Chains A and B, each alone.
Chain A
């Protein structure tokens, strides 16, 4: 298997055709067909889930912490404007420049303008999902600014010209051979050397010169603390602290929902974040930026991009509590078998199913259906987001907006009619040997026989329960159908 793993071609993500609905299933099927990749991916993420469970069992107050985290976030969202103003006030007092961006475009422009004002031509960057959401890197590159990702996984994906497939482990879908191929092509690494230590070391060596020479550095932010006006960044590689502290200009881009009221609340989230994400007690670095360093300048760009609108949708507002730990992806049985790139969206997995249609209901209309509604995601979520309920709510919302696929619409309409009419229903069943065409309706009621492709069909029994009951309990009477 290991041999196969290293031979197999890397499956690529969903085919994106403008705003055309992303076909997640098509990409998932290709991922599953790459059996070795799929198995590695599934096992690795399941391993993260198991490590997370072990951390949970080591903390007696685990469920209490989750409830606190959820309550703190709910409270904060209910007073979001006040806390943002408090943050701004304190950050400015400490010498941080605070900017407000209502959407992706404005955020990109603000950042571009700051860089231009400093004549910055090169930027080192640590991982930021918001940056991905806004399409920041392509924007800056068009503006003539060289951007280098400094997180290993993110760097691999940048060099391979592929989006991150997971919010915490961006290259989790790649094997060491896949990475080696990318590094040979782009970083002049030794061909055929797929030793992981070598590859990581090679990335360190080739990135260091960029870190030392960059004109500006950029990080995301995991938390904003209103009380102190500080930004908190959680990373493992040390790259965020290097990006922030080496050049004299540090820009932070962060979503407005990342705010928490006080330092005492930070403890709750830090205790949960890395335990949920990677099953480690804490990230290697949990860094706190309360003002510019000596001789430096610090900017924070507060980005809305749909968040304040989501706040007004009671069903979907809880999605704003997300701390981007990725635990819901690790536990999601569909995500583990589909790969994050199959979703064709910045946010994949359960959190992606509920965030993406908020950005574009047409393009992402298939995503809420890439779930069995099993609910494991909501159970691992450290801020107790009701993920599976929101996934279901999105299906309803999409149906209302006329965004169901034709086959779903037709089948559900027919079923709804049939199930509401006992006579017609019994007649349909009593069509003897044709039973499989109708029952269970939702299973075989489609021309492709999707059930039977990889599964045996159940043998149809001679009699329904209904007719058995009639014969044995009612002397053959009961209904007239």
Chain B
């Protein structure tokens, strides 16, 4: 008997199958909440930065941020970087990037998260190896809470996706919070369609 069969057999012997129908999960949507406002607040709690949309040039704040950077890799048409990526790049080759600029699939107001999929990133390490990450997010694509988030179609089509909620962080030494652990040191979000 293979281990697989052995395990499944033992489980079938022991599981009771008596109780329980599968609970239905309500959405807990609170209509009184201003979604965009809530997203901004949550993003800050998680250590993210909000880039203001400029009046004359909506991308002004973003451009300001990257103007002194050496290596910029942009996956969005709005901004041109100086490092092109193609699907043949090895994941580790992204290590010298200072700023990566990507567009998120959607955002989550409850937690200030943005969802980056393999399509947004092209190479998954683009979300982690660069020093800093800038994310464009269409404000119309912010959902209220995690129940909405996990009802999005992305989860059924991509091989990889991650909810980023602020930059990488650790508090493993004496509880001192440090933003910028192994992944990006900062995460900035620009709400722009």
Contact between chain A and chain B defined by CB under 8 Å: yes
Question: B-contacting residues of A (Cβ < 8 Å)?
Answer: 40, 44, 47-48, 61, 64, 68, 71-72, 74-75, 77-81, 84-85, 94-95, 100-102, 106, 150-153, 156, 169-172, 174-176, 179, 196-197, 199-200, 204, 207-208, 211-213, 228, 230, 236-239, 241-242, 244-247, 256, 261, 263-268, 270-271, 278, 280-294, 302, 304, 308-309, 311-312
On whether A309 and B165 interact (CB within 8 A), knowing A264-B151, A290-B155, A290-B158, the answer reads no
Contact A284 B166 (CB under 8 A): yes
On whether A311 and B15 interact (CB within 8 A), knowing A75-B20, A246-B92, A287-B162, the answer reads yes
Contact B128 A100 (CB under 8 A): no
Q: How far is the CA of A263 from the CA of B22 in the complex (A)?
A: 13
Main secondary structure on B side of the interface with A: loop
On whether A241 and B18 interact (CB within 8 A), knowing A176-B174, A312-B13, the answer reads no
Question: A-contacting residues of B (Cβ < 8 Å)?
Answer: 2-4, 6-8, 10-23, 25, 28, 42, 45-47, 87, 91-92, 95, 110-113, 118, 124-125, 127-129, 145-147, 149-151, 155-156, 158-176, 178, 180-184
Contact A284 B165 (CB under 8 A): yes
Contact A78 B23 (CB under 8 A): no
Cβ-neighbour of B25 out of A170, A200, A265 (below 8 A): A265
Contact B146 A271 (CB under 8 A): yes
Contact B21 A256 (CB under 8 A): no
Across the two chains, which residue of chain B brings its CB closest to A286?
B163
Contact A263 B151 (CB under 8 A): yes
Cβ-neighbour of A230 out of B46, B155, B178 (below 8 A): B155
Contact B174 A308 (CB under 8 A): no
On whether A242 and B146 interact (CB within 8 A), knowing A94-B159, A283-B165, the answer reads no
Show 8 A/B contacts (Cβ-Cβ < 8 Å), sorted by A.
A44-B175, A172-B172, A196-B174, A242-B183, A246-B91, A256-B11, A286-B163, A288-B158
Cβ-neighbour of A174 out of B110, B173, B183 (below 8 A): B173
Q: Which residues of A contact B158 (CB under 8 A)?
A: 288, 290
Contact A281 B165 (CB under 8 A): yes
Q: How far is the CA of A245 from the CA of B93 in the complex (A)?
A: 12
Besides A78-B19, A84-B11, A284-B169, 17 other CB < 8 A contacts? A74-B20, A100-B4, A152-B170, A197-B178, A207-B182, A208-B95, A228-B156, A242-B183, A267-B146, A270-B146, A282-B46, A285-B162, A289-B160, A294-B87, A294-B118, A311-B10, A312-B14
A-B pairs, top 5 by smallest CB distance, nearest first, are A238-B183, A312-B14, A291-B159, A237-B181, A238-B168
Across the two chains, which residue of chain B brings its CB closest to A100?
B4
Output the least CB separation between A19 and chain B (Å).
25
Q: How far is the CA of A302 from the CA of B4 in the complex (A)?
A: 9
Contact B159 A290 (CB under 8 A): yes
Q: How far is the CA of A266 from the CA of B91 in the complex (A)?
A: 28
Contact B17 A311 (CB under 8 A): no
Output the least CB separation between B103 and chain A (Å).
18
Output the least CB separation between A1 and chain B (Å).
13
Output the least CB separation between B10 and chain A (Å).
4
Q: How far is the CA of A199 from the CA of B12 in the complex (A)?
A: 49
Q: Which residues of B contact A245 (CB under 8 A)?
A: 91, 124-125, 128, 160
Q: Which residues of A contact B146 (CB under 8 A)?
A: 267, 270-271, 282
Output the least CB separation between B95 and chain A (Å).
6
Output the least CB separation between A202 and chain B (Å).
11
Q: Which residues of B contact A72 (CB under 8 A)?
A: 22-23
On whether A40 and B3 interact (CB within 8 A), knowing A286-B163, A293-B159, the answer reads no
| Most central of B13, B146, B175, B181 by chain A CB within 10 Å | B181
Q: Which residues of A contact B3 (CB under 8 A)?
A: 100-102, 106, 304
Contact B163 A282 (CB under 8 A): yes
Q: Which residues of A contact B10 (CB under 8 A)?
A: 304, 308-309, 311-312
Q: Which residues of B contact A265 (CB under 8 A)?
A: 25
Q: How far is the CA of A291 from the CA of B159 in the complex (A)?
A: 5
Across the two chains, which residue of chain A brings its CB closest to B10?
A308
Output the least CB separation between A82 and chain B (Å).
9
Across the two chains, which residue of chain A brings its CB closest to B113?
A282
Across the two chains, which residue of chain B brings its CB closest to A312?
B14
Q: How far is the CA of A104 from the CA of B57 in the complex (A)?
A: 59
Across the two chains, which residue of chain B brings its CB closest to A247?
B91
Q: How far is the CA of A244 from the CA of B19 in the complex (A)?
A: 37
Q: Which residues of B contact A101 (CB under 8 A)?
A: 3
Q: How far is the CA of A236 from the CA of B179 in the complex (A)?
A: 10
Output the least CB separation between B87 and chain A (Å).
6
Q: How far is the CA of A256 from the CA of B15 in the complex (A)?
A: 13
Contact B124 A293 (CB under 8 A): yes
Cβ-neighbour of A71 out of B23, B45, B173, B178 (below 8 A): B23
Contact A288 B174 (CB under 8 A): no
Q: Which residues of B contact A102 (CB under 8 A)?
A: 3, 6-7
Output the least CB separation between A272 and chain B (Å).
10
Q: Which residues of A contact B180 (CB under 8 A)?
A: 204
Output the least CB separation between A339 and chain B (Å).
15
Output the least CB separation between A265 and chain B (Å).
6
Q: Which residues of B contact A85 (CB under 8 A)?
A: 8
Q: How far is the CA of A283 from the CA of B91 in the complex (A)?
A: 23
Contact A212 B164 (CB under 8 A): no
Output the least CB separation between B120 and chain A (Å).
13
Q: Which residues of B contact A311 (CB under 8 A)?
A: 10-11, 14-15
Contact A238 B184 (CB under 8 A): yes
Cβ-neighbour of B178 out of A94, A196, A263 (below 8 A): A196
Contact A47 B15 (CB under 8 A): no
